[in-house]
Structure 1
Amino acid sequence: MHIKQRFLVSLSALLLAGCSPTYNWRDYTSADGAFKVLFPAKPATHTRAIDLGGIQVDMTMTAAEVEGSTFAVGTAVAPDAALAQATLPAMRQALLRNIGAGDAGGKNESGTAPAGATLDVDAVGKGNGGPVRLVGRFLAKGTRVYQVVVLGKPGAMPPEQTEQFLSSFKPQ
């Protein structure tokens, strides 16, 4: 009977561990109320000064990692709405450069995003010693700019999880 009890306890523990979701989706509202999004795990936030196409801004990055894929929202405030919109191609290009990927579009001939436009990216490059895929959106609302991205190994980013994250993003 003692062995049978141990087996049942071990089996119960194994079943409970199997029920633990890999993606533990949770509503998140940024501390300043600038956006809402669903993160697949508890996110962490970090702020640092960056250059966005010649404009110095403080960018706050909020991100969570699940099974080697990073789900992140970056936000910054530009001096005015026109400059916010103008920084979108620079944000997109900087991330493509970070993974060594070429630009496959996303801006018009003048090098700026049309007013109200959202720039998308889906590119494969290199990072952390292997191939990485970057899927994301870049948008501006008023003076605030946003980058909403998922970065991970190309085969390890479930499309439904990536789309859930990207489509859940709501600027405020």
Structure 2
Amino acid sequence: MHIKQLFSAFAAATVLAGCSPTYNWRDYSSGDGAFSVLFPAKPATHTRSIDLGGIKVDMTMTAAEVEGTTFAVGTAVAPDAALAQATLPAMRLALLRNIGAGESAADKGAAALDVEAVGKGNGRPVRLVGRFHAKGSRMYQVIVVGRPGAMPPEHTEQFLSSFKPQ
């Protein structure tokens, strides 16, 4: 399954989870104990098989949507730690391609890969801010996607900085 299909499925899941007109921050720990994070609303979780640079994995997306902005954490397990780290650029590039943004929109970091890009989603401008981590054989993508100008920087940073891999 392509990231675009996963993103569409995850967007539908957030609609089913319900939209909150205000931010209602809550602690969330993944069911498998892989991470904890503060979500701005009650999240929904879905798992899909995807291909990340030739590595087939089951990715679990946990997401919540508030006022048109989606806050999401994706997790997957690679066969080993080296592959998990090596797969992060493919995760980042797939999301950039999904919104039609170039690879140059990403900034490379030592422990994590960060991204901030503007592109299009469903024919409308979207902004993507995210961080990609690997810990052991587990890969994580922590992203916020929404309309440019409608993603309060303080909420984006609160979500991203609250993420803790286990």
Which bracket does the TM-score occupy, shorter chain normalised? 0.7 to 0.9
Q: Which residue of 1 aligns with 2:9?
A: none
Q: Which runs of 5+ in 2 are unaligned?
A: 1-19
Q: Which runs of 5+ in 1 are unaligned?
A: 1-19, 108-112
| Residue 129 (structure 1) shift | 2.1
Q: Which residue of 2 aligns with 1:163?
A: 157
Q: Which residue of 2 aligns with 1:35?
A: 35
Deviations 1:73-103 (A, max 9, x none): 0000000000000000000000000000011
Q: Which residue of 2 aligns with 1:78?
A: 78
Deviations 1:11-37 (A, max 9, x none): xxxxxxxxx971000000000000000
CA distance in 1, matches of 2:148, 2:107: 21
Query: 3-state SS of the aligned residue for 1:83?
Result: helix
CA distance in 1, matches of 2:122, 2:149: 15
Alignment of 1:1-172 (within 5 A): 22-104=22-104, 105-107=106-108, 117-172=111-166
Deviates more, 1:28-37 or 1:123-132: 123-132
For the 8 Å contact 2:126–2:146, the answer to whether it is kept is yes
TM-score calculated relative to the size of structure 2: 0.85
Deviations 1:146-167 (A, max 9, x none): 0000000011000000000000
Q: Which residue of 1 aligns with 2:8?
A: none
Runs of 4+ in 1 over 4 A off after TM superposition: none
Deviations 1:38-62 (A, max 9, x none): 0000000000000011000000000
Q: CA RMSD in A?
A: 1.4
Aligned length: 146
CA distance in 2, matches of 1:126, 1:58: 26
CA distance in 2, matches of 1:56, 1:129: 29
CA distance in 2, matches of 1:39, 1:128: 24
For the 8 Å contact 2:21–2:66, the answer to whether it is kept is no
CA distance in 1, matches of 2:35, 2:133: 12
Which residue identity lines up with residue 98 of structure 2 in the other structure? N
| Residue 130 (structure 1) shift | 1.0
